[in-house]
Amino acid sequence: MCGIVGYTGKDQAAPILLDGLARLEYRGYDSAGLAVRDGDALAEVVKATGKLYHLADKTDQGRSLPGCCGIGHTRWATHGDPSLVNAHPHVSGNCSGSGSGQVESDVVGVHNGIIENFTELKEKLLRHGYAFYSDTDTEVVVKLVDYYYKKYKIGPVDAITRTMVRVRGSYALALMFKDYPGEIFAARKDSPLIIGTAEEASFLASDVPAILKYTRQVYYIDNLQVARVAPGSVKFYDLNGDEVTLPLTEITWDAAAAEKGGYEHFMLKEIHEQPQAVRDTLNSLIHESRIDLTAAGLTDDMLRSLAQIDIVACGSAWHVGMAAQYVIEDLAKLPVRVELASEFRYRNIPMPENTLVIVISQSGETADSLAALRVAKERDAKTLAVVNVVGSTIAREADHVLYTLAGPEIAVATTKAYSAQLVAMDALAVQTAYVRGAVSQEQYGHFIEELSAIPDKIKRVLEDKERLQWFSSKIANAHDIFFIGRGLDYAISLEGSLKMKEISYIHSEAYAAGELKHGTISLIERNTLVIGVLTQSELFEKTISNMVECKSRGAYLMGVTTNGNFIVEDSVNFTVYIPKTDEHFVSSLAVVPLQLLGYYTSVNRGLDVDKPRNLAKSVTVE
């Protein structure tokens, strides 16, 4: 949520800032703004509501804003309505803040996050003569920095650290000071922020794609640290104002990975990248026909000692956990509990000794998941992060890290990151089962062969996309869609339903098929679409029976099943077949047609597939 970019160097800043903001559009936003300083001149601030092109038009694609140092922002409204006056950047001066032009202000800043005690701080500043023009918590923070800066006659770093001690909440801040032209000061707590350097230029951003065009050398600023960014150099400080050293990280994935590559939408491109994402992730875990988790710090002795696994996640990552629960419990005979991170963090859940808490997050910055990780560590549980972003906060704070290799995922609705997480958890399940003696050497080899075959089988599923495109055109005007399944099929249904609702805006729910008669079947009426996932042989007939009950009440049926289950065609109106695989790993195949169905339905409804309304790629605030 919210996107921050910054640049200081020899080139004109505004076009670079606009380019960076465009690459962060997937984060979700309702307004945007720039602040650029031309040497000692006053900062020039320009804001616009709505899409980024309005800001680009206002500034002639950035060309009308002179200056080589600037910050930019795309805002997701939290405090205050989407409006010019609430859009970032915000200033310390007592001005309207609603339009464009030069501002007589000592501090100009942008912010991602939520300041929880901003009302208390605002009252303090009002008593000291500050006036406020917006409803945002960001304006309060900028003015608080200004207050300490002037009251104690200290430098920017000390003014910022005093502010950090005073505020509660999460934030990534980027600030410019009138007395320090050509420099940007940044601070971070829980909200993502990276800093990149190149020859005679420096960049900052909420995420790597914003600056990858310009540099591959980045620093991941730690929690409660401040950065002083100058052209080609950066210094870091802790809360005491003491300089600290951070490692420089080289981004290895290609910039083209964050481009559409000829596809109409990022989501469609990322659906088609799933075979490679799954293959790369498996190749990082399987060596010489054996699963090797030592890079994640997971030894065989540790896996043998586990008494329980708690999986904590949000959204699609939680659905990965739901699927993994079935697989781990069945293979490793180890109890698994799956919790929503937003609930886990507020519950005093008993944790027996040798509990492993697995936190799954694509970005590694999800606010609730990060908070849950910290709760687990406070309770002395072992922690494992399954994340896609190297150097992310969750990756740094967990005891162990299992990286997925999905590459950058731009579309808000996750596809390839989900699939990479799924196979990573499946590999963890197989290895845990093997070292605990729950599966034989022969079974172990079979499972590894089946996992290794998944990428090619996903390719075969993708070959059937034209049928799904046709079927989508028939159901694009549906008002309600129900996904049902039992066991692992229920976990798949959860993700299929989420894909449908988040990008097509059709009301969609997933239910355990056996629960239909406990209330849900009352919602079935003529032409209601019911999609059944039918991949588990022991549960197949029961789910078919539930679907037929829906059909007798007027429902229109679609079934997703494995090749050979042709009996499904006798009961449903439309059938999708996936290649046969070991039933423990079928989620990786069955989810793909559901992703495609959601995608094509969104396209048929004329919606913004990659940036659905009200959603953001990374939820970095509660």
* Separation between Cα atoms, residue 560 and residue 534, nearest integer Å: 6
Contacts of 353 (CB under 8 A, 6+ apart): 307
* Separation between Cα atoms, residue 78 and residue 75, nearest integer Å: 9
Burial of 582 (0-12, 13-18, 19+ CB in 10 A): middle
* Separation between Cα atoms, residue 91 and residue 30, nearest integer Å: 20
- Whether the CB-CB separation of 138 and 90 falls below 8 Å is answered with yes
Assign 185 to helix, strand or coil.
strand
**Cβ-count burial 482-505 (b if 16+ within 10 Å, e if not):** bbbbbbbbbbbbbbbbbbbbbbbe
Assign 254 to helix, strand or coil.
coil
pLDDT of residue 515: 83
* Separation between Cα atoms, residue 492 and residue 319, nearest integer Å: 8
Phi and psi at residue 196, to the nearest 5°: -115, 150
Nearest to 295 by CA among 164, 390, 205: 390
Task: Identify the helix (H) or strand (E) that includes residue 161.
Answer: helix 156-166
* Separation between Cα atoms, residue 159 and residue 148, nearest integer Å: 5
Show me where the domains of the chain are located. 3-251, 256-463, 465-608
Please report how many Cα atoms fall inside a 13 Å half-sphere around the Cα of residue 300, on the Cβ side: 9
Nearest to 20 by CA among 174, 235, 250: 174
Residue 355 has a CB neighbour count (10 Å cut-off) of 21
Contacts of 339 (CB under 8 A, 6+ apart): 310, 311, 312, 347, 349, 372
**Chunked in runs of 10, what are the mean pLDDT values of the chain (622 residues)?**
91 96 82 92 90 91 93 82 88 69 86 92 94 92 96 96 94 95 94 92 92 92 95 96 93 72 89 96 95 95 96 97 98 97 88 95 91 94 94 92 92 95 98 98 98 97 93 93 95 97 95 83 86 92 86 89 84 93 97 97 94 73 57
Average pLDDT for the chain: 92
Which sequence positions are flagged as catalytic?
2, 617
Indicate the DSSP class of residue 205.
E
Q: Which residues pair with 557 in a beta bridge?
A: 530
* Separation between Cα atoms, residue 178 and residue 156, nearest integer Å: 11
Please report how many Cα atoms fall inside a 13 Å half-sphere around the Cα of residue 614, on the Cβ side: 5
* Separation between Cα atoms, residue 529 and residue 432, nearest integer Å: 39
- Whether the CB-CB separation of 510 and 496 falls below 8 Å is answered with yes
Task: Identify the helix (H) or strand (E) that includes residue 603.
Answer: helix 587-604
Please report how many Cα atoms fall inside a 13 Å half-sphere around the Cα of residue 331, on the Cβ side: 27
Q: Is 574 left (phi over 0), alpha (psi -120 to 50) or beta?
A: beta
In CATH terms, the superfamily for domain 465-608 is: Glucose-6-phosphate isomerase like protein; domain 1 (3.40.50.10490)
Q: Is the peptide bond before 89 cis (omega within 30 degrees of 0)?
A: yes
Domain 3-251 fold: Glutamine Phosphoribosylpyrophosphate, subunit 1, domain 1 (3.60.20)
Can you list the positions of beta strands (E) in 191-307? 194-198, 201-205, 217-220, 225-230, 233-237, 243-244, 249-250, 286-287, 290-291
One CATH from 3.40.50.2300, 3.40.50.10490, 2.130.10.10, 3.80.30.20 for 256-463: 3.40.50.10490
DSSP secondary structure letters along 414-473: -SHHHHHHHHHHHHHHHHHHHHTTSS-HHHHHHHHHHHHHHHHHHHHHHTTHHHHHHHHH
H helices within 345-415, ranges in order?
367-378, 393-397
pLDDT of residue 441: 97
* Separation between Cα atoms, residue 535 and residue 561, nearest integer Å: 5
- Whether the CB-CB separation of 175 and 163 falls below 8 Å is answered with no
Nearest to 18 by CA among 70, 78, 85: 70
* Separation between Cα atoms, residue 407 and residue 397, nearest integer Å: 21
Indicate the DSSP class of residue 42.
P
Q: Which two tokens stand for residue 197?
A: 């350097």
Q: Which two tokens stand for residue 282?
A: 């498996």
Indicate the DSSP class of residue 30.
S
Phi and psi at residue 231, to the nearest 5°: -55, 115
pLDDT of residue 98: 55
Length of the chain: 622
Phi and psi at residue 555, to the nearest 5°: -70, 155
* Separation between Cα atoms, residue 617 and residue 413, nearest integer Å: 7
Assign 341 to helix, strand or coil.
helix
Q: How far is CA 221 from CA 234, 331, 599, in A?
A: 11, 40, 36
Assign 85 to helix, strand or coil.
coil
Q: Is 62 left (phi over 0), alpha (psi -120 to 50) or beta?
A: left
Indicate the DSSP class of residue 221.
P
* Separation between Cα atoms, residue 319 and residue 178, nearest integer Å: 48
Judge whether 3-251 and 465-608 match in fold. Answer: no
